[in-house]
Structure 1
Amino acid sequence: MKSRSFHDGLYLANATILLTHQIDAAYWHEWTLFGMPGGVQLFLLLNLPILFLILHGTKALALGLGSGLVISWVLVCCGLFAFGFHSFHLLRGDEAFILPVSLGLLATILVLSVAQAASLLVLRRESGGVASGLGQDQRTCSEGP
């Protein structure tokens, strides 16, 4: 259970930094990097399902549901994508996300995403190689409903 508790903490930390990055993304007009029409309005609408998924993942992890582990992998992938996407644009010379806190958020996203992925692999190994508990309730009988 220590691994599970540690992983849940990593999930919350990574989710917090990724959501803070999304606030920063609004400041930098991230939709222009993606070439999205609709400006801030579409950007805000697209963030609604992201917020829902992260909050649902938090609830699923708290309840010990396997879906929480699946959402954890999604969060890892989103973090790695965010770091890679912004690194590409920074290396190209784009002027967005160049402030120290913006860069710090991106670096922290990378570190937390890698740590979270490693903790998910440990959880998988500890569970005997089960595919991350897909669709299974992760609570033990002694924990109750």
Structure 2
Amino acid sequence: MSDILFWVYLVNAVLLINHEIDSAYWKEWDLFRLPGGITGFLLIHIPVLFFVLYGLVLVFQQSFTGLIFSLILSLSGIFAFTAHMYFIRKGRDEFKTTISLFILISTLIVSLVQAYLTISLILK
């Protein structure tokens, strides 16, 4: 199951990184009222992307810390979907394109699978 988790983590990381690229297009810092504009947004993502990729290494090494990173990444994907659906239902136009919705829905599905696999391995 650890081997499967590695590939699911990788797919989810790719989806979430693509979502963040999409987020830059939609100026997500305005949506969440983050200071610093594009500069602040990009600076925040330097450590975020480091930890996402470092988590993949830890999952590959089958360490317990990797499972914690995996759980955090899966919860991040669930949060991304939920938060953006909230804004869409509030009438915001961001993230309503077909590709944006595809990425968000795919992220939710993969995140739920990842959370299940991760929790199963933690409880094993």
TM-score above 0.5, yes or no: yes
User: RMSD between aligned alpha carbons?
Assistant: 0.9
Residue in 2 aligned with 1:55? 53
Map 1:71-82 to 2 at 5 A: 71-82=69-80
Residue in 2 aligned with 1:65? 63
Map 1:1-145 to 2 at 5 A: 3-125=1-123, 127=124
Which protein is richer in helix relative to its size?
2
Q: Which amino acid counterpart does residue 12 of structure 1 have in structure 2?
A: L
Q: TM-score, normalised by structure 2?
A: 0.96
Q: TM-score, normalised by structure 1?
A: 0.82
Stretches of structure 1 that go unaligned for 5 or more consecutive residues are 128-145
3-state SS of paired residue (2:92): coil
Stretches of structure 2 that go unaligned for 5 or more consecutive residues are none
Runs of 4+ aligned structure 1 residues displaced above 4 Å come to: none
- Return the offset for 1:96: 0.5
How many aligned residue pairs are there?
Answer: 124
